[in-house]
Amino acid sequence: MKRHNYLLDIIIVLIVVLAAFIGFFRIKNGFSYHWNWGSIPQFFFKTDGTGHISANLLVLGFLTTIKLSIWAFTAALFIGTVMGVLRTRENLFARMIGRTYIEIARNTPPLVLIFIFYFFIGNNIIAALGIDNWARGLHGSGRSIISFLFTKPERFSEFLSAVFTLAVYEGAYITEIVRGGLESIPKGQFEGANALGINFLDKYRFVILPQVFRKVLPSLTGQSISTIKDSSIVSIISIQELTFQGMQIMASTYMVFEIWITITVMYFILTFSLSTLANFVEGKLIRN
């Protein structure tokens, strides 16, 4: 039995190696392209005349992707929790709000959603709040705090609309995850909490939601990986994240394949380390 498995493994490995070779051969010969990997490192880090090293476009884009994903996911988690609770209430009105939200957000293409938010809603609401002027007017430490946590103050309002759009989109999926978690909690837990006489918020905060999150943690980490991947869509509204920066470099240097491959590897490193971390945390939870 064991020997057979080994044989199958060897055959599969051989097929993969052969396919890689054929692919490589095709790229090398059938494909008219001047490879120029030597120019790639300078887009990670640049050195000025004095030998001072600082981050260049790709690293800056990578950091923006991370910040964008963290904020979008945090906001999505909040939206998803509130909507997930609404989805499971007895009250018809509450259920309708939750249902309407997820059906609209899940049944529209994210690209369309992003355009609508960026040009219509983001434009009206963010302009009315005066966030743009506020961010521009910042000085000193205020500027550096915004730059560190979000992005350059000049780009802050665009960044916010991107975060908001991504959060609304991802929030719909988190709503369903949270709803699934809530429905798996035995009725006795709700009744027990009610019997203690604690109020509505405390019931969820201390009794129900901690149990829910323990159950749905694996699905949530999957969704956080999706958020990172989906964040590349906001490049179309010119948020300067990894995909956008890569496309800018491509438009300037015409090094199409080198840049796409580099970007792919960068996204993979980010999401793969996240899923490894998730596996580790999950293992710990199960052992506890």
Partner 1 sequence: MKKIILFLMIIVSVFFVLSCGNNTKKQAGSSESLLDTISRRGVIKVGLSTFVPWAMNDKNGNLIGFEVDVAKRLASDMGVDIELIPTKWSGIIPALLTGKFDVIIGGMGIRPDRNLKVNFSIPYEYSGLSIAANKEKASGFSTLEDFNKKDIIIATRIGSTGASVAEKLLPLATLKLFDDESQVIQELLSGRAHALIASAPMPAYQVIKNSEKLFMPFEGTFTKEPIGFALKKGDYDLVNYFNNWITVVDAEGWLAERNHYWFETREWENLVQ
Q: Please identify, using beta-carbon distances, which residue of 7 and 55 lies nearer to partner 1.
A: 55
**Binders of partner 1 in range 36-75 (CB under 8 A):** 36, 39, 42-43, 46, 48, 56-57, 60
237-241-244-246 Cα dihedral, nearest 10 degrees: 180
The pair of three-digit structure tokens given for residue 202, joined into one six-digit string: 């405390």
Is residue 100 within the footprint of partner 1 (CB under 8 A)?
Answer: no
- DSSP letter (8 states) at residue 150: S
DSSP, collapsed to helix, strand or coil, labels residue 8 as helix
The region of 73-81, 210-218, 230-238, 277-285 touching partner 1 under the rule CB under 8 A is 230-238
Among 93, 112, 195, 284, binds partner 1 (CB under 8 A): 93
Q: CA-to-CA distance for 86 and 99, rounded, in angstroms?
A: 9
Is residue 238 within the footprint of partner 1 (CB under 8 A)?
Answer: yes
**Binders of partner 1 in range 166-225 (CB under 8 A):** none
Q: Please identify, using beta-carbon distances, which residue of 17 and 111 lies nearer to partner 1.
A: 111
Is residue 25 within the footprint of partner 1 (CB under 8 A)?
Answer: no
The answer for residues whose C-beta is within 8 angstroms of residue 159's C-beta and 6 or more apart is: 68, 150, 151, 239
Q: Which amino acid is at 77?
A: L
Q: How far is CA 230 from CA 110, 156, 224, in A?
A: 8, 20, 10
What's the alpha-carbon Rg for the chain, to the nearest Å?
24
**Count of residues in contact with partner 1, rule CB under 8 A:** 40
**Binders of partner 1 in range 124-143 (CB under 8 A):** 124-125, 127-128, 136
Is residue 35 within the footprint of partner 1 (CB under 8 A)?
Answer: no
Q: Which amino acid is at 99?
A: R
Chain residues that interact with partner 1, rule: CB under 8 A: 31-34, 36, 39, 42-43, 46, 48, 56-57, 60, 91, 93-94, 119, 123-125, 127-128, 136, 154, 158, 235-238, 240, 247-256
